[in-house]
Chain A
Amino acid sequence: MPTCDVLVIGAGLAGQRAALAAAEAGASVAMLSKVHPVRSHSVAAAGGINASVDDEDSWEMHAGDTVKGSDYLGDQDAVEVLCQEAPGEIRRLERQGVAFHRNAQGRLDTRPFGAASHNRTCYVADITGQAILHVLYEQVTRSSDQIDRYEEWFVTTLLRDDDGNCTGCVARELRSGRLEEFRAPSTILATGGAGQVFKPTTNAVICTGDGIALAYRAGAELMDMEMLQYHPTTLAVVGILITEGARGEGAHLYNVHGERFMEKYAPNKLELASRDVVARAEQTEINEGRGFPGGTVALDITKVPRKRTLEALREIVNIGRDFAGVDITAEPIQICPGMHYIMGGVRIDVDGASSVPGLYAAGETACVSCHGANRLGGNSLLDTLIFGRRAGVAAAARAREVATAPPTDSAVSDQQKRIDAIGAREHVGPKVPELKEKLGRAMHADVGVFRDAEGLQRAHQTVRDLKEQTARAWIDDTGTLFNQDIPAALELEHVLDIAECITTAAAERKECRGSHFRTDFPGRRDEEWMHHLLVTASPDGDPPRLSEAPVTVTRWEPQERTY
């Protein structure tokens, strides 16, 4: 029955950064992850991380771009924190060993990225996320005396005391099937995004929004759940990501007629408009019959000098070759918009605290909200580090004030019963993977780039039906050795909870803002809708309840958004 000051759930960039910050503040830390930390999906972040490191750039410009990119739904106090702390954080990583590529002066080089008024995306070729994730893991390894790692442990529930404080969690070791109660005054959720609510998605199979669902079930407020990002450049069918770095380095987009269609949609920024704008432009071209067969447009990376591509876009050279049979240095590659990122998540303040005392969140799991209705490329890695660190510091501070809760009587046995019940389900009707597949297809069809009331209602109904079937969905493996079926069954519950929150919020917001585009309610409507939507679980868990929260405005008044 492990106890510690700070419990970190998830070990991608946000989780590891939080663990390191808490340890630095003197806390004992337990870091749990359902996969080995370096398998976390932060590893797939490619293009880079934003910071105003250039002397001619400023954090205010970075913040202004971010607010505009968010379509004025971003909370500007959080955006200011994000952008102000960015350069220091990047340089810290550099000193710890991230091999950021350099300019002629030997300083951090920056590449252009979408919707940025200045080059400010620091990068390591196109494996920036991997480079940072591995370096953080090196640092966590180095701090082994303070950070206990529980690798390949799956959290089944959060624990709360009678006063509503979060007091820890119950987790299951994959290798042995053993359940343990972890108790801590502070718990930080950093389990990444929820891309697996959709199919296809750029997100890894592990991105099932566990932290968002755990918090929701523990009574925490979720925010901006209707805000989902479709990335403009993903491989059709498989959904693998082609980095925005390609367009940053100069790649163009063409429709089937060979027209560089972004001239119509964003005459100034062209391919480097914000992601929602480019994804919508592509989908419009495809829907209006100017796409290629199979619903794609062409990304032409041959515009980038070959040497530069091989040096700075090496990973997508491999992806093109291995997953699409295309040499991107010689010919265009077919891409389409693909589900990529959830701007919404567990509502936190700038110190990572959720609405449940003792429960913190960071990274894609959280919503602070620094991305608002549309995140800029290069800001998500930054978000994980800045707010991961702040959550770690705040969680360690709380641990100095609050005592660890006493052991519970029944938390572990309750979870054991829950798991045994899944294993005991009758072998009739659909199994877990089948239901997950149906959910993903339904969400992609009706909650994608373009939305309307009818489609959202249809998706919502599908989610309700699937939820009901999930209570009976059966699994094959009832053993204890590296049982992957049990986590999959629990993950299905998680993605369904999140899907319901998404459809509920998306049906509510009757306007177009950022990535949320309602064909039945054209235009942004600031008087009515410039506020966040909050989603919380009903006491009986059904259906989710909606409420509102104001947007924090510090210095950027809403304006018309063009690129």
Chain B
Amino acid sequence: MPVFALKIHRENTANGGRPYWLEETVELDGHRSILDAIIELKERDGSLGIRYSCRAAICGSCGVRICGRPHLACHTQLDTAQEWAGDGPIVIEPMGNMPVIKDLIVDMDAVHWAKVNRVRPWLVGAQPVPEREYLVDHETMVDITQTQACIQCGSCVSNCMTMEVDPLFVGPAALAKAFRFANDPRDGAARERLLDLAQDPHGMYACTHCFQCIDACPKGVAPMSQIMRMRRAANSDHGIVDDNNGHRHEAAFVENIKRNGLLNEGDLLADSYGGKLSPRFMRVAIQSLPPITKALVRGKIGRDAVFHGHRKHFKDLAGLFDRVSARPKRLELNLYVSGYEDDPSPVRPAVGHAADASPSAPGPNPRKGRAVRA
């Protein structure tokens, strides 16, 4: 059996001990999970801390960072982790953005659950409440199943880049949970919820679309997609005009692409704040000078982009916009179902043979391809 080298974050916050690395090896089949390896180490030394329970990626206890990536330990095979680790040991750390209690155990109450509680996390029954069940169509319930599939493991919180710089950001899990209700025809508080999270400067418009949460989610909830859907619902369905300029920025973005074919950063800021002559734009432009300068110096944006703008002519760009806006109903991609609809290939190429009930060899993360389509 292959031998895997593991390097595990250890830390006892009660005695003020400094974190250190535990370096050990385990001998296990490569299709076994990181959790199996940790349990084996735990049998050697029971003081190694990790929450775990179901071993089947449904209870959401064992979120950790494996070679820097947030994952459920039970849901990550040793072979896969070794690929990420290259020639070095498999590095296992507690999740990010949350304080460590002990070893791989983090304080989810302090961050994750506090944020979930922020969004009034229960259904506010739409009136009139029926005597039996609400009458809703099948597709709607299947749609909600995607957000309801969240197991509250915290992987997306661990991976959230916005939360790193803005700890007050409501965050991917809680926003997805909020949309789970706002998108439910049985909820009577959709508008209130959307207004609240549009107005919160750390709410739905604070997300920077980095896709990290989609990548991190072990259940295909795609939190960022839910945040984007929430913005469309706030903006297009409820006409919510927020004080954070989020909706104007989105509208300006769309107009910018329509006009230029490519994003023209030079115009974007001005368009988002009411045009180049608007006093609001002047204020924001001055505030934005330092980051823009920094970005220029570091080569994150080109000079042309800021001063001259760039354009590209796409065939029938205007027609494309017309067709989308002429649709009677907005199409929302739900990965839970429709992400597979026209996909003739298997979810993931099957490996091993049927008689072998062992877990698969590593393969590409099947969620990656779908994330891009979102």
When distances are taken between beta carbons in the complex, the residues of chain B under 8 Å from A477 are 46-47
Q: Is the interface of B mostly helix, strand, loop or mixed?
A: loop
- Residues of the A chain whose Cβ atoms lie less than 8 Å from the Cβ of B43: 431, 433-434
Provide the A93-130 mask, 1 if CB < 8 A to any CB of B, else 0: 01111011111111111000000000000001101001
From B83-91, B131-139, B248-256, B322-330, the one touching the partner chain is: B131-139
Q: Is residue A41 contacting chain B, with contact meaning CB distance below 8 A?
A: yes
A324 touches B151 (CB 8 A): no
**Could you tell me the distance in whole angstroms from the C-beta of A196 to the nearest C-beta in chain B?**
11
Residue B346 interfacial (CB < 8 Å): yes
Which residue from A103, A124, A433 sits with its C-beta under 8 Å from B148? A124
A333, A476, A482: which has the most chain B beta carbons within 10 Å?
A482
Q: Which residue of A lies closest to B341 (CB)?
A: A307
A102, B123: Cβ atoms under 8 Å? Answer: no
Q: In chain B between 39 and 64, which residues have their CB closer than 8 angstroms to a CB of chain A? A: 42-43, 45-47, 49, 51-61
Interface centre among B43, B347, B352 (most CB of A within 10 A): B347
Distance, CA A479 to CA B14, complexed state (A): 9
**Closest Cβ–Cβ distance, residue B133 to chain A (whole Å):** 4
**Do residues B355 and A481 form an inter-chain contact, with CB atoms below 8 A?**
no
Q: Known A97-B186, A99-B141, A100-B141; judge A322-B61 contact (CB<8 A).
A: no
Contacting residues, chain B, for A238 (C-beta < 8 A): 55, 359
Identify which of residues 327-374 in chain B touch chain A, using a CB-to-CB cut-off of 8 Å. Answer: 336-337, 340-341, 346-352, 354-361, 366
**Cβ-based interface call for B102 (8 A):** yes
Are A91 and B132 within 8 A (Cβ)? yes
| Chain B residues, Cβ within 8 Å of A103 | 138
B134 touching A94 by the CB < 8 A rule?
Answer: yes
Contact between chains at A484 and B46 (CB < 8 Å): yes
Residue B198 CB within 8 A of the other chain: no
Is B46 touching A485 in the complex (CB atoms < 8 A)? yes
**Cβ-based interface call for B129 (8 A):** yes
Is B117 an interface residue when CB atoms closer than 8 A count as contact?
Answer: yes
Tell me whether B148 and A131 are in contact (CB under 8 A): yes
Cβ of B244 within 8 Å of any chain A Cβ, yes or no, is no
Q: Which of A452-509 contact B (CB under 8 A)?
A: 475-477, 479-485, 488
Closest to A46 in B: B58
Of all chain B residues, which has the CB nearest A332?
Answer: B354
A41-B59, A134-B148 known; A311 and B346 CB under 8 Å?
no
User: Which chain A residues numbered 62 to 100 have a C-beta less than 8 Å away from chain B?
Assistant: 91, 94-97, 99-100
Residue on B nearest A317 in the bound complex, by CB = B347
Complex alpha-carbon distance, A332 and B51, angstroms: 33
Residues of B within 8 A of A124 (CB): 141, 145, 148
B14 close to A481 (CB less than 8 A) = yes
A130-B149 contact, Cβ under 8 Å, with A109-B138, A205-B53, A321-B366 = yes
Inter-chain contact A481/B12, CB cutoff 8 Å: yes
Please state if A206 and B13 are interface contacts (CB–CB under 8 Å): no
Counting CB contacts under 8 A, is A398 at the interface?
Answer: no
Q: Is A310 in the interface zone, CB < 8 Å from B?
A: yes
B95-118 toward A: CB 8 Å interface, digit per residue (1/0)? 000000110010011000000010
A35 vs B130: C-alpha distance when bound (angstroms): 35
**Smallest beta-carbon distance A3→chain B, Å:** 24
Produce 1/0 per residue, A371-400, CB < 8 A to B: 000000000000000000000000000000
Given contacts A97-B122, A476-B46, contact A322 B137 (CB under 8 A): no
Shortest Cβ distance from B142 into A: residue: A311
Q: Does B266 contact A (CB under 8 A)?
A: no
Q: For A476, give the chain B residue with the smallest CB separation.
A: B46
Q: Which residues of A contact B141 (CB under 8 A)?
A: 99-102, 124
Check: B267 CB closer than 8 A to any chain A CB: no
Is B285 located at the chain interface by the 8 A CB criterion? Answer: no
Q: Is there a chain A Cβ closer than 8 Å to B152's Cβ?
A: yes
Partner of A482 from B31, B45, B49, B125 at Cβ < 8 Å: B49
The answer for the CA separation of A139 and B359 in the assembled complex, in Å, is 37
Contact partners of B42 in chain A: CB under 8 A: 433, 484
Residues of B close to A434: CB separation below 8 A: 43
CA distance A317 to B148 in the complex (A): 17
Report whether B355 and A294 are in contact in the complex, using a CB–CB cutoff of 8 Å.
yes
Instruction: Say whether B144 faces chain A, with CB atoms less than 8 Å apart.
Output: yes
CB pair B47–A485 under 8 Å, yes or no, is yes
- Which one of B45, B134, B138 lies within 8 Å of A101 (CB-CB)? B138
Across-interface contacts of B337 in A (CB, < 8 A): 310-311
B148 touches A102 (CB 8 A): no
- With known contacts A331-B350, A481-B102, A323–B56 Cβ distance under 8 A: yes
A488 to B61, CA, bound (A): 17
Chain B contacts of A450 at CB under 8 A?
none
Nearest chain A residue, comparing its CB with the CB of B49: A482
- Is A412 close to B, CB under 8 A? no
Is A43's CB under 8 angstroms from B358's CB? no
Shortest Cβ distance from A125 into B: residue: B145
B359 contacts A327, C-beta separation under 8 Å? no
Query: B185-219 vs A: 1/0 string, CB under 8 Å?
Result: 01100000000000000000000000000000000
Q: Are B352 and A479 in contact (CB under 8 A)?
A: no
5 of the cross-chain contacts (CB-CB < 8 Å) are A41-B53, A43-B54, A125-B149, A240-B56, A488-B46
Given A97-B187, A101-B141, 12 more contacts at CB 8 Å? Answer: A36-B108, A43-B60, A96-B125, A99-B148, A101-B142, A236-B357, A237-B357, A321-B366, A323-B56, A334-B357, A481-B13, A482-B101
Residues of B within 8 A of A (CB): 12-15, 31, 42-43, 45-47, 49, 51-61, 75, 101-102, 105, 108-109, 117, 121-123, 125, 129-130, 132-138, 140-142, 144-145, 148-152, 181, 184, 186-187, 336-337, 340-341, 346-352, 354-361, 366
